[in-house]
Chain A
Amino acid sequence: MLFNSYTYLLFLPVVFFIYYISPKRLRWAFLLLSSYYFYMSWNVKYATIMFFSTVVTYILPLFSAKSKSQRVRKLMLVSNIIINLFILFMFKYFNFTSQLISDIAGLFMFSVIPLRFNHLLPIGISFYTFQALSYSIDVYMGKAEPVKHFGKYALFVSFFPTLLAGPIQRITRLFTQLEEAKRPDAENIKYGLSLILWGLFKKIVIADRLSVLVNTVYNKPTDYNGMEILIATIFFTFQIYCDFSGYSDMAIGSAQVLGFDLLENFNHPYLAKSVTEFWKRWHISLTSWFRDYLYIPLGGNRRHHLINILIVFGVSGLWHGASLTFIIWGLLNGIYQISEKLMAPHSKKAFEMLKINTETITYRVFKTFITTVLVGFSWIFFRANNLNDLGVVLDKLFRFDYFNAVSFGRVYALGLNEGNVIFAVISIAFLLAAELLEERRSVYHKLQSEPFLTKTFAYIILVLVIMVFGIYGDKQAAQFIYFKF
Chain B
Amino acid sequence: MVTNRQHNLFILSFKEGRLLKKLFVNLFKIIVALAIFFILLEFVSKLLTKDNDAFKRRDTLNSLPKNSVDIMFIGNSHSYTTFNPVEISNITGKTAYNSAMPSQLLDLVWFNFEIELKKQSPKVVVLETFAFQGPSQRDVFNDSNIDSMPFGITKLSAIFSIYKSSKDRFELMSGIYRQHGNWSDSELVNENFNNIVYGKKPSYIESKGFYDIDSKMTSDTVEKLKNLKPSEYVFKARVSDYNKYYFNKIYRECKKRGINLICVMAPMNKNYVEKTDYESVHRGFKALFDSVGVDFIDYNMLYDEVGIKDEDFANESNSSHHVNKYGSKKISEHFSNYLASVIKD
Contacts and interface: CB of A to CB of B under 8 A. Distances in A.
Q: Which of A420, A423, A472, A473 has the most CB of B within 10 A?
A: A473
Q: Which of A9, A10, A460 has the most CB of B within 10 A?
A: A460
A463 interface: yes
A473 B48 contact: no
Interface residues of A, number: 22
Contact of B44 (A423, A459, A464, A472): A464
A419 interface: yes
B338 interface: no
Contacts of B171: 473
Interface string B11-52: 000000000000000000100110011001100100010000
B183 A468 contact: yes
Contacts, number: 49
Contact of A468 (B167, B176, B178): B176
A460 B33 contact: yes
Nearest to A466: B180
Contacts of B41: 464, 467
Nearest to B29: A452
Contacts of B180: 467-470, 472-473
Nearest to A471: B181
A474 B177 CA distance: 9
A457 interface: yes
B166 interface: yes
B184 interface: yes
Contact of A417 (B37, B176, B184): B184
B245 interface: no
Given A464-B40, A473-B177, A473-B178, A420 B184 contact: yes
A213 B171 CA distance: 26
Nearest to A456: B33
Interface string A448-485: 00001000110110011001111011100000000000
Given A463-B37, A467-B176, A468-B176, A456 B32 contact: yes
A468 B44 contact: yes
Contact of B48 (A9, A457, A463, A468): A468
A7 interface: yes
Contacts of A470: 180
Contact of A460 (B40, B166, B174): B40
A240 B198 CA distance: 44
Nearest to B174: A467
A6 interface: yes
Interface residues of B, number: 22
User: Chain B interface secondary structure, helix, strand, loop or mixed?
Assistant: helix
A465 to B, nearest CB: 10
A473 B186 CA distance: 20
Interface string B235-274: 0000000000000000000000000000000000000000
Contacts of A456: 29, 32-33, 36
A473 B167 CA distance: 10
A373 B184 CA distance: 31
A457 B176 contact: no
B135 to A, nearest CB: 22
A414 to B, nearest CB: 15
Contacts of A417: 184
Contacts of B181: 473-474
Contacts of A468: 44, 48, 176, 180, 183
Contacts of B176: 467-468
A9 B170 CA distance: 10
A472 B181 CA distance: 9
Interface in A64-107: none
Nearest to B26: A186
A463 B38 CA distance: 11
B28 to A, nearest CB: 10
A419 B184 contact: yes
A10 B29 CA distance: 24
Contacts of A467: 41, 44, 174, 176-177, 180
Please list the 3 inter-chain residue pairs (A to B) with the smallest Cβ-Cβ separation, ordered nearest first. A419-B184, A6-B170, A456-B33
Interface of B: 29, 32-33, 36-37, 40-41, 44, 48, 166-167, 170-171, 174, 176-178, 180-181, 183-184, 186
29 contacts: A6-B166, A6-B167, A6-B170, A7-B166, A419-B184, A420-B184, A452-B29, A456-B32, A456-B33, A457-B36, A459-B33, A460-B33, A460-B36, A463-B37, A464-B40, A464-B41, A464-B44, A467-B44, A467-B174, A467-B177, A467-B180, A468-B180, A468-B183, A469-B180, A469-B183, A472-B177, A472-B180, A473-B177, A473-B180
Given A423-B184, A473-B171, 11 more contacts: A6-B170, A9-B170, A419-B186, A456-B32, A456-B36, A468-B48, A468-B180, A469-B183, A472-B177, A472-B180, A473-B180
